[in-house]
Amino acid sequence: MARILLIDDDDDFRTMLSLTLTHLGQEVIEARNGIEGLELFPQANVDIVITDIIMPGKEGIEVVTELKKERPSVKIIAISGGVRNRVASYLRTSEVLGAAKVFIKPFSTAELMAAIDELLAGEKLKSTGA
């Protein structure tokens, strides 16, 4: 089980993803935008952050940059939808800035859960010294 901070400005998508992740045994903290996500992060004690990239106020690129500055070891999954070429460019930038995984909406629950499991397994390996 992971403790996940989910940042997305699309209320319907965020709620659907939160309910899905919760149903699959994850603990989810929701943030409506990048500003709220960055405010929640310091006390949230999360294993993984899932952030949308294209948001009003503070875009996901800024969120990724600030999270990595605050806690370099944080595992980030960047997600985005929209015009495929533009989104792909933003997601590549997110990877360069430190996102461990990226997904273009829509993506499957199985793909997301596999990424979460992989990131958690990496953390367990680090903590055991393997």
Written as six digits, the tokens of 128 are: 């055991």
Task: Tell me what pLDDT residue 83 has.
Answer: 74
What's the rounded Cα separation, in Å, for the pair 64 and 54?
12
Is 127 a residue whose pLDDT tops 60?
Answer: no
The amino acid at 53: I
- Give the confidence band of 84 by pLDDT, cuts at 50, 70, 90: confident
Domains of the chain: 3-125 (3.40.50.2300)
More confident call, 82 vs 18: 18
Residue range 34-75, pLDDT digits in tens: 999 999 999 999 999 999 999 999 999 999 999 999 999 999
Mean pLDDT of the chain: 93
Pair 30, 6: CB distance under 8 Å = yes
* Phi/psi of residue 98, nearest 5 degrees: 130, 0
Query: Positive or negative, the Cα torsion across 17, 86, 94, 41?
Result: negative
**Structure pTM?**
0.93
Task: Tell me what pLDDT residue 129 has.
Answer: 52
DSSP per residue, 10-78: -HHHHHHHHHHHHHTT-EEEEESSHHHHHHHHHHH--SEEEEESS-SSS-HHHHHHHHHHH-TT-EEEE
- Average pLDDT score over residue span 88-111: 95
What's the rounded Cα separation, in Å, for the pair 33 and 52?
9
